[in-house]
A and B are shown apart, each in its own frame.
Chain A
């Protein structure tokens, strides 16, 4: 067997070294495209999933704690915050108060949810401050100011689909009526656009405003939202938060995404899975065809090797090596193409409508999976045709009869 391997490697090495370079380049190019096909579309679809996950960041951060049972508030929010901040994996946390309101500008009235937040803490927890498309984000002292979602403002993305406040702009005064009947007037400080109804139909205000309106003592919250150091570890961090004695329900961003966008995500995931399997089958078939044609072109050579006494296993090993070499080179070339295209699309995202950016997601797991799949296919694709030809009679292999 050792001799078979040595002869197989020698034969493969000389085939690669002295074989037709143009054919080699073409095979590698095609294999690179096959690899791209395996990883590119799933990365783009992964970007769609990522887009939904990002949307979830605004209301839920990486992890959110919500009131227990039917309680409208977490009553000891400051104590919960203290515990959460003591968990080393949590990078920042804040509390929020949500309330149902109606907002009026001139003759236009819309129903909305207003979120009371502590602006300076939000910088480290959410991306709200990054999605202000007009005006500015709230300051810590801004008690009479409001941020309104873009879909509530005529002319912004999505506003035509919903009731909106017409021509309200930064600097306009709006009246907000709370569920307890209190009406307050705020100046619009900014317009936020997250290209998702979950943010763009809502409004933001200072936490203390809602506290005042509802006569709360300041330790209540409708949610405690936090960001963790490594978002991939959110599920583990959730466990740690529970273990430090937080009794309220704790959800990761993904759990909330699943709950809200389950159907959409399932459809996307289904497309992704189908696309991956179709790519895999096409890839496998193409690798098999390429290597098979290559082996058939070398049928005479295989016959000669057999005729002079080289064992069929050496021949099979040789073609498995050649096939693996092609595929490894194809994967490397494919990785270069893939990363170039990923960086290009990250720098120049695909735009939906005018402002929804689809940024592809580099999925390390998918890449590793595709590499292994292609390597396994290469060995099979090398072995099967070489084994078949090596079983043919020498006369058939060399002289075709």
Chain B
């Protein structure tokens, strides 16, 4: 494995059995290198969200191998998976998944406190992350005082505050209008290009792929294409 390879997935399968067996992922293999911005695309039901949840250690595969920096994360006990999510991975949910009774700052700094940082240090970390996504003036707002785009930016701030090795984003613009979507995607692009953040993003909007450096397309639980992109591929 290349020394820059962070994620290695081999023959990953995820079946759901609720009377009828649904093969959400049916043998997926790929590698992700440090600093890549990957867009996973595909029609609804193609398995992209399932794949991202497995990559983000939120779900477990039925079969297959998954390593991050050579560590087999599939077989980690639940507690270790939680700790790994806390310290190494960032996850942005489609529906923001913010804690409604916490302010923007609290939503972000609770993770730093969990990591063992002091309250003062955690507040500074949270402020920096929220400033990075353009919400430095809305630290004390609770989610219902924020717009959809702002909520998603808080979710991104929460995910990046701990400087994760990999940032996963599950349709981060699904509930946003075009203008707000562009703002959110610009934030992700900046994180990738300026800070070298590895990002894996699931999207169903074709125009979102212009922000990515590589596009993986899924269909019926299988990869149907895996292409690198460059800026010049972007439509004018």
Contacts and interface: CB of A to CB of B under 8 A. Distances in A.
A180 to B, nearest CB: 87
Interface in B114-170: 114-116, 119, 142, 158
Nearest to B56: A307
Contacts of B89: 309
A308 B91 contact: yes
Interface residues of A, number: 26
Interface in B76-101: 79, 82-87, 89, 91, 93, 97-101
Contacts of B63: none
A311 B97 contact: no
B67 to A, nearest CB: 19
Nearest to B119: A6
A273 B93 CA distance: 54
A273 B74 CA distance: 56
A17 B97 contact: no
Contact of B102 (A18, A309, A394): A18
A15 B114 contact: no
A4 B83 CA distance: 12
Given A307-B58, A395-B59, A7 B102 contact: no
Contact of A7 (B101, B110, B142): B110
B85 A307 contact: yes
Given A306-B82, A309-B87, A395-B59, A314 B99 contact: no
A170 to B, nearest CB: 73
Given A14-B106, A18-B142, A7 B114 contact: yes
Contact of A394 (B58, B83, B111, B114): B58
Nearest to B117: A3
B58 A310 contact: no
B111 A309 contact: yes
Contacts of B79: 311-312
A394 B85 CA distance: 12
A242 interface: no
B85 A17 contact: no
Nearest to A2: B116
Given A3-B114, A7-B110, A307 B83 contact: no
Interface of B: 53, 58-59, 79, 82-87, 89, 91, 93, 97-103, 106, 110-111, 113-116, 119, 142, 158
Interface of A: 3-4, 6-7, 10-11, 14-15, 17-19, 301, 304-312, 314, 393-395, 398
18 contacts: A3-B116, A7-B114, A11-B99, A11-B102, A17-B101, A18-B100, A301-B100, A304-B97, A305-B99, A307-B58, A308-B85, A308-B158, A309-B82, A309-B86, A311-B83, A312-B79, A394-B58, A395-B59
Given A14-B101, A15-B101, A308-B85, 4 more contacts: A304-B93, A304-B99, A309-B84, A314-B114
